């Protein structure tokens, strides 16, 4: 089986019915998709498959054969966040962070499809994502701000201490 | 047809409906893999260890077509594609899980969904019963077409759903109770339609699969007002307790929802 993950072609050896979540985390070491409920209910494993948000835990490797995948590792780098990531940072939309990857990917797809400025639309689009810190207000604010272009370029380099500059290289699965 | 074989597993991936029917045969020992939203959970948690899998994603079973007043929906059509379907099917589709799951889950899977361990499943079943839909399936004895409610009553007989079709109703309506939470499991939903054969009613959430509310339908046919017909909705229906709601709550609520649907259908 073959996947293009964050722009890099990968040959996979996992059995064909292995979940994409397992393949990403265990075979490729790409750990931004989180194994939350592993039954499609929490949204923490959401990745973009050919640009569409999908549950990695509900997708068999065979069903995604040949697809293009994007994960958080394929968004911005710590020194150059995407607008959605920068908005999550500046709006304090991440608390424990476990659900954040799924929210980022679903929000990215929504905004790339031209949506995200209307609050009700954002809530509907993100309704499959559960934040157990209950940070929904900040998350929705971050997404509408990013969709409206109301966000400053941001870096989390300073937050990452001495590792900052090299951090991008250390993240498995990032194209850098 | 593409076939993948590993030590313990054979995956058949047909590229036409005919090939899918041939690969399914009488269905014995076959695990049908449609959108994956039900099967993958069973696989991930090792509750299902299949030896023969039939993957339908390239079998040409997806799509909606309309001829005159008849709509035919392929088994692999996603729930998301049905969000704009005629009522009450559209509302039922929009109520399934969330946007991402709806883009993956299929009509065929919804019809074949085994009851969940903690709650009923099959949100589209009630709407299809109300529409008087017919399901065409393959398996032992060949292809067969029958009303959705009869298909559901057959239980565990292995059938490969090919498509579902129905006549556009004069009117459709639905009413449901939702759990007040981001993730929408249906506690109880009632679908109704005014069809050539009269008003049809069905409920999801009062049995392991959706059921037709025949007594209330007959009351409507006999000229009862909505409230009077709705009061008879529980006849022949026995809701159960589960993780989402008690039987008592469902008994109190079912007539209310039926009355709403009947009022909307007037």
Q: Determine contact: B221 vs chain A, CB below 8 A.
A: no
- Residue B203 CA to residue B130 CA, distance in Å, equals 9
* Structure-token match 């041939």, residue found: B22
Model pLDDT, residue A153: 76
Q: What's the predicted TM-score (pTM) here?
A: 0.92
Could you report the per-residue pLDDT of B95-113, keeping only the tens digit for each? 898 999 999 999 999 999 8
Q: With beta carbons under 8 A apart, name residues in chain A contacting B119.
A: none
Whether B73 contacts B107, CB under 8 Å? yes
Give the DSSP H/E element, type plus range, for residue B169.
none
Whether B227 contacts B253, CB under 8 Å? no
Could you report the per-residue pLDDT of B114-150, keeping only the tens digit for each? 877 677 788 999 999 999 999 999 999 999 999 999 9
* Structure-token match 């005014």, residue found: B194
Could you report the per-residue pLDDT of B36-76, keeping only the tens digit for each? 999 999 999 999 999 999 999 999 999 999 998 999 999 99
Half-sphere exposure in the Cβ direction for B96 (13 Å, CA): 30
Q: With beta carbons under 8 A apart, name residues in chain A contacting B6.
A: 15-16
Could you report the per-residue pLDDT of B181-232, keeping only the tens digit for each? 555 678 899 999 999 889 999 999 999 899 999 999 999 999 999 999 999 9
Q: What is the 3-state secondary structure (H, E, C) of chain A?
A: CEEEECCEEEECCCCCCCEHHHHHHHHCCCCCCCCCCCCCCCCCCEEEECCEEEEHHHCEHHHHCCCEEECHHHCCECCECCHHHHHHHHCCCCCCCCCHHHHHHHHHHHHHCCCCCCHHHHHHHCCCCCCCCCCHHHHHHHHHHHHCCCCCCCCCCHHHHHHHHHHHHHCCCCCC
Per-residue pLDDT 10s for chain A (176 aa) are: 999 999 999 999 999 999 999 999 999 999 999 999 999 999 999 999 999 999 999 999 999 999 999 999 999 998 899 999 999 999 999 999 999 999 999 999 999 999 999 999 999 999 999 999 999 999 999 999 999 999 887 777 666 665 555 555 556 666 54
Q: With beta carbons under 8 A apart, name residues in chain B contacting A19.
A: 40, 43-44
B98·A53 Cβ contact <8 A: no
A19·B99 Cβ contact <8 A: no
């Amino acid at each position: 089986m073959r996947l293009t993950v964050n722009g890099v072609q990968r040959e996979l050896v996992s059995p064909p019915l292995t979940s994409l979540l397992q393949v990403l985390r265990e075979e490729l070491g790409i750990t931004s998709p989180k194994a939350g409920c592993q039954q499609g209910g929490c949204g923490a494993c959401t990745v973009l498959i050919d640009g569409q948000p999908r549950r990695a835990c509900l997708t068999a490797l065979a069903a995604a054969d040949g697809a293009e995948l994007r994960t958080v590792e394929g968004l911005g780098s710590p020194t150059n966040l995407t607008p959605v990531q920068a908005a999550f940072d500046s709006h304090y939309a991440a608390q424990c962070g476990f659900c954040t990857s799924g929210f980022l990917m679903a929000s990215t797809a929504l905004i790339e499809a031209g949506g995200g400025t209307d609050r009700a639309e954002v809530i509907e689009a993100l309704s499959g994502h559960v934040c157990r810190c209950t940070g929904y207000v900040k998350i929705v604010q971050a997404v509408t701000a990013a969709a409206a272009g109301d966000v400053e370029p941001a870096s989390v380099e300073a937050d990452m201490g001495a590792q900052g500059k090299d951090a991008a290289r250390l993240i498995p699965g990032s194209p850098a | 047809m593409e076939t993948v074989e590993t030590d313990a597993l054979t995956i058949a991936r047909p590229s036409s409906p005919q090939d899918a029917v041939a690969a399914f045969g009488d269905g014995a020992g076959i695990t049908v893999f449609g959108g994956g939203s039900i099967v993958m959970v069973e696989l991930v948690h090792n509750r299902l260890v299949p030896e023969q899998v039939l993957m339908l994603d390239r079998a040409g079973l997806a799509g909606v077509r309309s001829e005159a007043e008849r709509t035919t929906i392929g088994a692999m059509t996603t729930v998301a594609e049905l969000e704009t379907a005629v009522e009450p099917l559209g509302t039922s589709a929009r109520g399934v899980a969330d946007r991402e799951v709806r883009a993956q889950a299929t009509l065929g899977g919804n019809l074949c969904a085994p009851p969940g361990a903690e709650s009923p499943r099959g949100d589209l079943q009630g709407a299809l019963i109300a529409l008087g839909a017919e399901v065409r399936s393959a398996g032992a004895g060949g292809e067969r077409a029958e009303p959705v409610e009869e298909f559901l009553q057959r239980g565990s007989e292995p059938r490969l759903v090919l498509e579902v079709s129905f006549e556009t109703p004069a009117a459709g309506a639905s009413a449901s109770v939702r759990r007040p939470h981001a993730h929408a499991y249906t506690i109880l939903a009632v679908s109704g339609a005014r069809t050539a054969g009269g008003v049809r009613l069905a409920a999801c959430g009062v049995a392991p699969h959706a059921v037709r509310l025949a007594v209330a339908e007959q009351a409507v046919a006999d000229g009862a007002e909505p409230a009077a017909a709705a009061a008879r909705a529980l006849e022949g229906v026995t809701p159960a307790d589960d993780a989402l709601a008690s039987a008592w709550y469902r008994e109190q609520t079912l007539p209310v929802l039926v009355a709403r649907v009947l009022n909307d259908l007037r």
